[in-house]
Structure 1
Amino acid sequence: MPTAHNGKKPSESPRGEEETNASTDLPKVVQNRAPYNMQSLNDLYTQIPSDTHELKRFGSDVFIHRDVSIATSARNSALDVPLGPDYVVGPGDTLSIDIWGGLTQHVSRTIDRDGRILLPEAGSIKIAGLTLGKAQTLIAAELQQQYRNAQVAITVANLRSVRVYIVGDVQRPGGYDISGLATPVNALYAAGGPTAVGSLRTLFHYRGKQLVEKIDLYDFLLHGIRNGSVSFESGDTLLIPPAGPQIAIFGAIKRPAIYEFKEDETVLSKVIENAGGLTTAASLDHIRIERIDANQQRVTITLPGDSGQNPQADQKAIDDFQVKDGDRIRIEPILPYSQRAVYLAGHVVRPGRLPYSEGMHLSEVLGSYRDMLPEPSDRGEIVRLVPPDLRAETIEFNVPDVLIGNANVALRPFDTIRIFGRYQADAPMVTIRGEVLRPGRYPMSKDMTATQLVRMAGGFKRDALQETADLTSYRVEDGKRIVENLATIRIGAALAGNNPDADILLKPGDILSIHQITSWNDIGESVTIKGQVRIPGSYGFTDGERLSSVLLRAGGMLPTAYPAGAVLIRDQVRELELNSRDELVRQIEASSAAARLSPALAGSNGSGTLQLIKAQQDQILTDLKSHNPSGRMVIHIAADIGSWANTPADIELRRGDVLMIPKRPGFVLVTGQVYNATALAYTPDKTAKWYLSHAGGANAAANQKEVFIIRANGSVVGRRSGGLFDGNVLSTKLNPGDVVVVPQKIIGGSLFWRNLLSAGQLAASVAITSGVAVATL
């Protein structure tokens, strides 16, 4: 790997993706939004953008991506190839001398600063300034005097270095030690290349005051010709003067850049030749030149041509046009779209752009149904762009008529032939519901029947009623209203093929409903019995079977059972309770604070009262939301199943019912606004008042008039229950598992508000009793 002056390896940058400017490239355009979604208009709604790409000076990249070691590592470097006989040897060159004949010997000699070398037995001879061929002849003559029949071959083993001065508009002017074989390009490499002002067309090689030669680097950069055949000698000077006249050329040109030109290269055709020539996409009648009138103004010139009608005239205009210093030449491309094309779109196999020819008809584009996707619509259209302003108009046609040759429309350039699919143009759909594998909406094919729709939906499910099905159809009457028609069809016979007349043709929008076999969902229904029975578990039952029957199959109740506290949970009841609770919560939250406050309480401390009402409301809402409805039904059963079997107490069972028979609880629960809410051991024949007193009695926030009792079976005894103990709830005798609830006194004078919160307190308390029963299983 060659090294630079500092001894480090030059950095190598990976070669990236290069920009091209070829005719095969897609045209660079600005795509404007077309008013219709058509490829023809998308092609036409394009603009050729202004080229804002910054141009580089031609040849500048050669010196930017350079390896300075190529020109500076010649000192004492071995040659890989022999030099020609015209090479002039000088001080510093190392010669390799091979002698054979009278004797065989190899010697290596370096020419000293006096231009001499020392030969064996022959002494010192001067060869500096001689060509390699003449030096070999001289050395052979001297050695032949010493050795009989001696033959001599000379090669240069190491080149001398020469000191060359590179000055002018160059990146790093100064003196450089370079190889004696180095060219002006090598020397210019070593100095970093010309500056942005330096010339690439005229370089001067001086030896003292004498001009040795002029060098044009374009010969090398454009044609690979390395002029500058005169080798450098120590003390030579390479001068890079300022650049001469320059022009910029871009657009539909193969090598857009800034070019320097000479006095004999002022015609535009020569500039285009230096730039690699025009691309095939160049428009010869659209060449624009931005010119600077010296020290006055900028002007724009359009190259005179023949508007593309006569290419020879356009080329002659290029050959005759004289460029000037500072010109910016833009070669415009041709139009970015074809002006002789038609477009095929929609429900076709090969959409896209097609060539247009004079006298072209629609049948040449649509030859058969093989040119279209399956199930095309009968309707097609031609969207025509009418000149001169290319406005769009639509011509409809019938696809079958075109295919048989009855409607062969003549085409014009930019026509778009659009074919619709059968399900794109007001797609006819039919619907199947019910007991099929894949119910839903389906596209209606031609002459589709009910049996075909069933098969498309995967056929009947196992629970389908295959005898009959309902078919709902509609018709539009007078274009104003829809009239529905419901018919019953024998779908089973039609599907089995026993009666072809049973199958009917469908119409768009028809709905076919496949029913389920009666009581299919009741197959395998069961109830669960938990707690104090002999054989708890899940039991299947038949439709209409009652609770007593299943309890007998479960072995009856255990002696420890407490049937008065039995809990029957039913899903339907839970859903009703949940809806009722949510509605109660909504009503409480929707009631405004002002409506809760009675006029008697709306005195000077109305705001404080409102805060108390709000706190009470939040507490009751929290209790309601924290106790989910259990779905409990109130039942009245006894341990003697025969005593209540087949009576109104013997209820019919439903799928998912859960019966829980608890043990005898042995306690009564007192809760609510009491000093010590707790469970008290059951004492026979004691009243609610007795249990309340043993719980510490009601506190100051209690509403003692509205105390109520929730029996173990879920029934409620309240002040307004009617006829019990003359309305005195506290004198009621309690049973094990009963709950005494002392509600909170409702703040506020509105009767509606008090009733709402009372209902909320009751609903939250009822949910507690189910938990008491479950705890005693």
Structure 2
Amino acid sequence: MKNVTVLLLLFFTFFSFQLNAQDLMKSSDLSTVKVDYLSDSDIAKIRTQLKSNNMTIEEAEPMILSKGMSAAEFSKLKVRVNEGMVTSTLNKKEEEKKSTTNKKDSGRTQEKIVNNKVKDSVNALIFGSELFDNPTLNFEPDSNLATPMNYVLGPGDELQVSVYGVQEYNASIPVSVEGKITIQYVGQISVAGISIEAATQKIKAAIARVYSTVRSGQSQVSVSLSRIRTIKITIVGGKQPGNYSISSLATVYNALHLAGGPGKNGSYRNIELIRNNKVYKNIDIYRFLVKGDQSDNVSLKENDVIRIPVYTQRVTVEGEVKRPGIFEMKKGEKFSDLLNFASGFNEFAYTASVNVLQKTGKEFKVHDINQSEFSTYIPQSGDVFRITKILNRFENRIKIEGAVFRPDYYSYNAGMRVSDIIARAEGLKEDAYTKRARIIRLKSDLTTEIVNVNLENALAGDLNANIELKREDEVTVYSILDFREEYKVTIDGEVKNPGEYPFYDNLTLNDLVAQVGGLTGSASKRVEIARMIKSDEIDDANPKRIELVELEITADNNEQVKNFVLKPFDVINIRRMAVYEKPQMVTISGAVSYPGKYVLANKKESVYNIVMRAGGLTSVANLEGMKIKRPIKQEQIDQIERVDLNLAKNDTLKEDLAKKLKEELKYVTIPVDWKKIMKDKDHYSNVTLFPDDEIEISILNEGVKVTGSVLLNSEIPYRNGKGFRYYINAVGGVDNKGWKKKAYIIYPNGKAAVTGSFLFFRSYPKVAPDSQIVVPEKPETKKISTGEWVSIGSVITSLALLIVTAFK
């Protein structure tokens, strides 16, 4: 019985807090609620209660705690409720993106209007078309702006009604299709067809009848537009005519932009806004384009019609205006108005008159409009106005150049003389030649002539010399430096910077040597100067072409015994010392006692001398493996490139050979027979060494390498008495591409020997230790095809028949 009582107590306790949890807002006692025992559906019901009361769990905290729930249990409840809110938000995120496409910072939304713009290249020249073709331009109303007080409400709008103060209430209330809104506990209020300002007063009065604190002023009411309705309009005559659903805040320009503007023949200046079957407004887009006047950009209403009629007259402006194109003209407008539409003449326009091409009933005619007629001439439909460039000439220009301080163009005044233009150029330079100046003058027939002036007399006040100038005259003042030849001297030989240098009066040899950086260390004391011979008469008895002067110079201090004065075009040669050679080296490596670099001590330094200076050969040296590697010099490659091999144009043999020497071989190999040198120091193997030679002495290797077209590239131990074929057979013989009769051997000292043959006998070279046998590939041969055999057979058959016929 006791157990049954306990179970009943637990059941009623659980049932009681579950009921409390399900009606969280209305329950007066929440002390028994245990959040851990609440199911997910219980938490969902609590969230629904909070949402219906427009409250968050944080805002409900004071009320819940006042009804007996502990702070610890509320913290658990808050965590579970917020977790569900996050999950719900993530699930609804995609749906909110679709339903709320134009959400702004203010919270106001409206239906997104999408219109793909296509650039109209056909009508691109029509003034105003760029306003509607440019996809980056947008005339959409900004929903962040304050709601206009004269905005007329209608079905589809949504109002945000808030009561704040002692009593609080907040709700987003849509305007129904009947034009009414429904406020909880207040009832229905009709708002359609009235301005938002009037609707606000009406709503406040209705709420005040229910909320006493609103009547007393303890609470305040605010009404704002949270969602904007969509209205339908019709556009006729646009590039994309039709019915459009747009924002109720939209204006005429917004609608025109959606329709792509006027059509091909549509008017830009007489667009009609029709409301209730009457023309409500005539729209002239030029007022906006030219003056920025938006008085025509009125708001639209449900069922408005925008009618774009065809244009009445258009004219074309070409040439030197800031905005050439096709313009629409109204009746009574003048050429000056057209010029204003085109933003006026540009900087290079000829403004004295404008040429206009007009159309008559049968043909074209040309008319000139003078500047005085701009404000009176009335353009006709189809007129083409051509504004040309000004002439590339000057009415008052004059030029001075040469030996004056400020050569330039100057303005010309009637009566100007030579002295006046020189004064404007701030006078003559010190090097000016005053005996003569030149004036190039443009004659009346546009040919030119030269007028000579004596500057000295002109500047002295002689009116005959100080002649009067004319427009476009070009005055040239000569310089005495222009008449002097540019003198040079040349220095070559043992100086740091040989070359050609300018000549100056009183230039000496010491000056020139210092200018070129001094002498090199190899300079001798001998100097030779070659000087040109000048004479007005030919002396056949004197065969000399130049005069030679020999001097001595002290190389230590770059000075000579006598400071020799140079003359124009002298050629100076500083001779090299008779004996002046820097130490040059060779390299020895391999099986010697002291490998490394050695200086060539004399001009006839031989292999034997260097080997002995390196301590001689070691015990592991291969006496038959000594060779010299000599670098290929650039001049050798140049000699090959200079040889004419009489090859075809597309034959690259010479270039390939030069490239191989330069990039692959880089050196030549000279075999050395050390045994013969030890017996006879005068043997030809004891060659004289050159700078940068490298002597290599290989270490004794008792093996023979076999490479090339053989079955196995390998190294076979050397066996005394075994011949060439033994080593080839030891690696499996030659393969199917091997050319055995052309096999050759490379000895350790770089020498090579090939296989020889006589009649049916073949002789193979002797094999030595550390040598290498190479079997090359057979050259590719083209096999005779079946068709070629058939052709050969036909030829033979024909020859046989011919022979038989001849001997019958």
Which TM bucket (shorter chain)?
A: 0.5 to 0.7
Return the alpha-carbon distance in structure 2 between the equivalents of residues 255 and 114 of structure 1.
53
1:461-500 to 2 correspondence within 5 Å? 461-466=520-525, 468-477=527-536, 484-490=545-551, 492=553
Any idea what SS the aligned residue of 2:290 has? helix
**AA aligned opposite 2:499:** G
Distance of aligned partners of 1:68 and 1:178 in 2 relative to their CA distance in 1, 3 Å threshold: farther
For residues 244-273 of structure 1, the C-alpha deviation after alignment (integer angstroms, 9 at most, x for no partner) is: 3112224332222221111132x1111111
Which residue is 2:365 aligned to?
299
Which residue is 2:130 aligned to?
61
How far has the Cα of 1:193 moved from its partner?
A: 1.9
For residues 91-124 of structure 1, the C-alpha deviation after alignment (integer angstroms, 9 at most, x for no partner) is: 3332334557996544544333333334566644
Any idea what SS the aligned residue of 1:301 has? strand
Pick aligned residue for 1:327 from 383, 391, 399: 383
Which residue is 2:716 aligned to?
none
Distance of aligned partners of 1:11 and 1:242 in 2 relative to their CA distance in 1, 3 Å threshold: closer
How far has the Cα of 1:467 moved from its partner?
A: 5.0
Return the alpha-carbon distance in structure 1 between the equivalents of residues 426 and 539 of structure 2.
39
Return the alpha-carbon distance in structure 2 between the equivalents of residues 68 and 388 of structure 1.
57
Which residue is 2:486 aligned to?
427
1:399-418 to 2 correspondence within 5 Å? 413=472, 415=474
For residues 726-769 of structure 1, the C-alpha deviation after alignment (integer angstroms, 9 at most, x for no partner) is: xxxxxxxxxxxxxxxxxxxxxxxxxxxxxxxxxxxxxxxxxxxx
1:151-550 to 2 correspondence within 5 Å? 153-167=222-236, 169-228=237-296, 231-265=299-333, 267-294=334-361, 296-304=362-370, 314=371, 316-335=372-391, 340-341=396-397, 354-358=409-413, 359=416, 360-362=420-422, 364-365=424-425, 384-391=440-447, 413=472, 415=474, 426-466=485-525, 468-477=527-536, 484-490=545-551, 492=553, 502-507=563-568, 509-520=569-580
How far has the Cα of 1:201 moved from its partner?
A: 0.8
Pick aligned residue for 2:192 from 118, 121, 128: 128
Any idea what SS the aligned residue of 1:201 has? coil
Distance of aligned partners of 1:499 and 1:126 in 2 relative to their CA distance in 1, 3 Å threshold: closer
Whether the aligned pair in 1 keeps the contact of 2:238 and 2:260 (CA below 8 Å) is yes
Distance of aligned partners of 1:91 and 1:468 in 2 relative to their CA distance in 1, 3 Å threshold: closer
Give the alignment's TM-score, normalised by structure 1. 0.53
How far has the Cα of 1:363 moved from its partner?
A: 5.9
Whether the aligned pair in 2 keeps the contact of 1:381 and 1:394 (CA below 8 Å) is no
Which residue is 2:148 aligned to?
83
How far has the Cα of 1:54 moved from its partner?
A: 10
Whether the aligned pair in 2 keeps the contact of 1:68 and 1:190 (CA below 8 Å) is no
Distance of aligned partners of 1:99 and 1:539 in 2 relative to their CA distance in 1, 3 Å threshold: closer
Whether the aligned pair in 1 keeps the contact of 2:273 and 2:306 (CA below 8 Å) is yes
Whether the aligned pair in 2 keeps the contact of 1:490 and 1:502 (CA below 8 Å) is no
Whether the aligned pair in 1 keeps the contact of 2:406 and 2:426 (CA below 8 Å) is no
Q: Which has the higher mean CA deviation after the structures are superposed, 316-325 or 473-482? A: 473-482
Whether the aligned pair in 2 keeps the contact of 1:494 and 1:500 (CA below 8 Å) is no
How far has the Cα of 1:401 moved from its partner?
A: 12
Whether the aligned pair in 2 keeps the contact of 1:181 and 1:232 (CA below 8 Å) is yes
Which residue is 2:632 aligned to?
none
**AA aligned opposite 1:511:** V
Return the alpha-carbon distance in structure 2 between the equivalents of residues 2 and 338 of structure 1.
62
Return the alpha-carbon distance in structure 1 between the equivalents of residues 524 and 453 of structure 2.
47
Which ranges in structure 1 are unaligned for 5 or more consecutive residues? Answer: 14-52, 305-313, 529-536, 555-580, 590-627, 631-638, 645-652, 659-694, 699-777
In the comparison of the two structures, how many residue pairs are matched? 545
Any idea what SS the aligned residue of 1:319 has? coil
Any idea what SS the aligned residue of 2:294 has? coil
How far has the Cα of 1:423 moved from its partner?
A: 9.4
Give the alignment's TM-score, normalised by structure 2. 0.51
How far has the Cα of 1:488 moved from its partner?
A: 1.9
Return the alpha-carbon distance in structure 2 between the equivalents of residues 465 and 478 of structure 1.
38
Distance of aligned partners of 1:428 and 1:277 in 2 relative to their CA distance in 1, 3 Å threshold: same
Distance of aligned partners of 1:134 and 1:222 in 2 relative to their CA distance in 1, 3 Å threshold: same
Whether the aligned pair in 1 keeps the contact of 2:267 and 2:311 (CA below 8 Å) is yes
Whether the aligned pair in 1 keeps the contact of 2:510 and 2:558 (CA below 8 Å) is no
**AA aligned opposite 1:82:** T
Whether the aligned pair in 2 keeps the contact of 1:216 and 1:227 (CA below 8 Å) is no
Any idea what SS the aligned residue of 1:62 has? helix
For residues 612-655 of structure 1, the C-alpha deviation after alignment (integer angstroms, 9 at most, x for no partner) is: xxxxxxxxxxxxxxxx9x9xxxxxxxx999xx9xxxxxxxx999
Distance of aligned partners of 1:54 and 1:367 in 2 relative to their CA distance in 1, 3 Å threshold: farther
Pick aligned residue for 1:93 from 157, 163, 180: 157
Distance of aligned partners of 1:102 and 1:468 in 2 relative to their CA distance in 1, 3 Å threshold: closer
Return the alpha-carbon distance in structure 1 between the equivalents of residues 331 and 605 of structure 2.
119
Any idea what SS the aligned residue of 1:194 has? coil
- Let me know the Cα RMSD of the aligned residues: 6.8
Which ranges in structure 2 are unaligned for 5 or more consecutive residues? Answer: 1-100, 104-109, 588-597, 614-639, 647-667, 671-678, 683-687, 694-755, 760-808
Return the alpha-carbon distance in structure 1 between the equivalents of residues 548 and 204 of structure 2.
125
1:573-592 to 2 correspondence within 5 Å? none
Any idea what SS the aligned residue of 1:477 has? coil
Return the alpha-carbon distance in structure 1 between the equivalents of residues 573 and 459 of structure 2.
40
Return the alpha-carbon distance in structure 2 between the equivalents of residues 136 and 9 of structure 1.
32
Return the alpha-carbon distance in structure 2 between the equivalents of residues 186 and 385 of structure 1.
65
Return the alpha-carbon distance in structure 2 between the equivalents of residues 62 and 204 of structure 1.
18
Return the alpha-carbon distance in structure 2 between the equivalents of residues 389 and 495 of structure 1.
72
Return the alpha-carbon distance in structure 2 between the equivalents of residues 415 and 54 of structure 1.
51
Distance of aligned partners of 1:334 and 1:437 in 2 relative to their CA distance in 1, 3 Å threshold: same
How far has the Cα of 1:432 moved from its partner?
A: 2.0
Distance of aligned partners of 1:321 and 1:55 in 2 relative to their CA distance in 1, 3 Å threshold: farther
